[in-house]
Amino acid sequence: MSVPSDSIGPASVRRVMGLESEFGIAVPGEPYANPMQLSGLVVTTYARAHGHRATHGAWDYSDESPLVDARGFALPRASAHPSQLTDEDDPSLANVVLGNGARFYVDHAHPEYSSPEVTTPRDALIWDRAGDLVARDVVARLADRGPGVNLYKNNTDGKGSSYGTHENYQVTRDTPFDRIVAQLLPFFVARQVMCGAGRVGIGRESERAGYQISSRADFFEAEVGLETTFKRPIINTRDEPHADAERWRRLHVIIGDANLAEVAGLLKVGATSLVLALIERDDLAVELMPRYPIAALQQISHDPSCRALIELRDGRSLTAVQVLWAYFEAASAMVAKGGGADEATAEVLTHWERVLTLLERDPMLARSDIDWVAKLALLDQYRERDGLEWDDPRLRAIDIQWADVRAERGLHYRLESAGRITRLTTEDEVRAAMTTPPTDTRAWARGHAVTTYPHEVISASWDSLVIDQPARGGVARVTLPDPLSGSKDALAAHLGPDRSVEAFVDALAEHA
């Protein structure tokens, strides 16, 4: 039975969403450097340079529930892997809430930038890329300390380690989770041809020579599950909404690669948001489930020609591009039936159709738009010039250098600056997003609070602020269960340069 359309909003890419990126970290010439200490150094260096407090107590863990499963149960704490206990306050780890509403912290031995909540794919792109500038800023600051620390926006070191790039989407609570699994899983298996980051090497430890579409596909072992760092599932079931749990769930997506190419990044979140709209409405009539999803995920990744045929449970065999065409056609029909596309939705649909057309004709035609294609085109140039085979270590070094966050060293950024990779955002808007929060979500209240009242904000989270009120002699904890509350428009009439922290707390409590 379809969900009534008035309960889920218009057929659009617009929804509350956000991205998380763990950065690869290294010290040149020191392969055994402690990544936990280095990551802590990265976070605290950036925080101190920009007037933020980076302590373990800066994050409010009160409402976190990482062991609640969307399938209707909670994993007993005694049975959980330590990596799953993300609600534990570890005094050895640095944590900071940035003025743009983002979180910058140490997670599983990596610095992680978690972007603020936004409502469009383009804004997701802007504030995610602002995190790249945060990483670049701190690398420059540490450059004069010994050999320096460097960061890479990638997801594997090519030697068996993988770290995450996660997406988050607000989805209606009354959408059955089994429908989400059945209709989203085939899309996740196939979408890597649009948004894979590419990788030199086949297998977790690159034990076979070659090149593949996704940097993460070889690390997935399950179709559905609660874990994120082991037994990785295509569909993650963590039910931690960071919002009103009766109305919303937060779909925590761990299958994606870190994107540097902006068209690929836009399609990753934009197409996924449209597919979620299809699922919320129960508007996807076609059956697309692979017979063997994990095998299909890796089969697609290992075939840069995009010609691999995947057997479906209904007996058909389709390529990943054909599967994505089916989703595109369903999404286009849904939008047309809903009265047409708004600007944000039209942008995603235009790029989605164009990229699928290019991939269908010849994947190399998409080299200006898609990470894995752009990287492959560059690697092929080196291979042809120097006669290199895929097992040559120089190709692996190029793969790592591709994701270097430094503008002068990162191969992606050098190609982009030369006009060979499509740019959708501007440098000015991305740089502004380093310090300015989105205005249309509660991220604005969070960013405004830590910037305007840096000494009074004790801690924060996605849905709370804990604030000292000196004039009242007490501490207030304000919850923000609606991600669209706490916006600039909602609070502007109650704030000003002469407003006290107590007035800010009152405005939050009354209007957020």
3-state per-residue secondary structure call for 234-300 = EEECECCCCCCCCCEEEEEECCCCCCCCHHHHHHHHHHHHHHHHHHHHCCCCCCCCECCHHHHHHHH
Please state, in angstroms and rounded to a whole number, the distance separating the CA atoms of residues 177 and 40.
Answer: 37
Task: Tell me, yes or no, whether 58 and 93 share the same domain.
Answer: yes
Please state, in angstroms and rounded to a whole number, the distance separating the CA atoms of residues 442 and 488.
Answer: 8
Q: How far is CA 318 from CA 219, 300, 308, 361, in A?
A: 23, 11, 8, 16
Last residue of a domain, one of 407, 431, 455: 431
Write the DSSP symbol of residue 200.
E
Q: Residue 358's pLDDT is what?
A: 98
The CATH number linked to 387 is 3.30.590
Are β-strands 232-236 and 220-225 bridged in parallel, bridged antiparallel, or unpaired? parallel
Q: Residue 89's pLDDT is what?
A: 47
13, 120 Cβ separation under 8 angstroms: yes
pLDDT tens for the chain, 512 residues long, are: 333 333 455 799 999 999 999 999 999 888 888 999 999 999 999 999 998 877 656 787 776 565 666 666 566 766 665 555 454 545 457 899 999 999 999 987 899 999 999 999 999 999 999 999 999 999 999 998 777 899 999 999 888 889 989 999 999 999 999 999 999 999 999 999 999 999 999 999 999 999 999 999 999 999 998 776 668 899 998 889 999 999 999 999 999 999 999 999 999 999 999 999 999 999 998 899 999 999 999 999 999 999 999 999 999 999 999 999 999 999 999 999 998 999 999 999 999 999 999 999 999 999 999 999 999 999 999 999 999 999 999 999 999 999 999 999 999 999 999 999 999 999 999 999 999 999 999 999 999 999 999 999 999 999 999 999 999 999 999 999 999 989 999 887 777 666 789 989 988 988 76
Task: Tell me, yes or no, whether 409 and 500 share the same domain.
Answer: no
Task: Tell me, yes or no, whether 35 and 63 share the same domain.
Answer: yes
Task: Tell me, yes or no, whether 426 and 468 share the same domain.
Answer: no
Q: Residue 228's pLDDT is what?
A: 65
> Is residue 245 left, alpha or beta, with left meaning phi > 0 and alpha meaning psi from -120 to 50?
alpha
Task: Tell me, yes or no, whether 398 and 486 share the same domain.
Answer: no
Q: How far is CA 340 from CA 12, 17, 332, in A?
A: 9, 22, 9
Task: Tell me, yes or no, whether 265 and 377 share the same domain.
Answer: yes
Domain span holding position 449: 439-511
Please state, in angstroms and rounded to a whole number, the distance separating the CA atoms of residues 421 and 77.
Answer: 46
The residue annotated as part of the active site, out of 60, 107, 123, 132, is 107
Last residue of a domain, one of 398, 431, 464: 431
Q: How far is CA 367 from CA 160, 187, 205, 463, in A?
A: 27, 22, 26, 40
Task: Tell me, yes or no, whether 345 and 473 share the same domain.
Answer: no
* Per-residue model confidence as pLDDT tens digits over 203-227: 999 999 999 999 999 999 999 987 7
Task: Tell me, yes or no, whether 505 and 388 share the same domain.
Answer: no
Q: Residue 511's pLDDT is what?
A: 74
Q: Residue 2's pLDDT is what?
A: 34
Q: Residue 451's pLDDT is what?
A: 93
Burial 174-211 (b: 16+ CB within 10 A, else e): ebebeebbbbbbbbbbbbbbbbbbbbbbbeeebeeeeb
Which residue shows structure tokens 């890329």?
129
395, 382 Cβ separation under 8 angstroms: yes
Tokens of 162: 């993988």
Q: Residue 32's pLDDT is what?
A: 84
Residue 351 backbone phi and psi in degrees, to 5: -70, -40
The verdict on whether 399 is a catalytic residue reads no
512, 486 Cβ separation under 8 angstroms: yes
How many CB atoms lie under 10 A from the CB of residue 406?
17
Please state, in angstroms and rounded to a whole number, the distance separating the CA atoms of residues 267 and 263.
Answer: 6
Please state, in angstroms and rounded to a whole number, the distance separating the CA atoms of residues 197 and 212.
Answer: 9
Q: Residue 112's pLDDT is what?
A: 97
Please state the domain count of the chain.
Answer: 2
Q: Residue 426's pLDDT is what?
A: 97
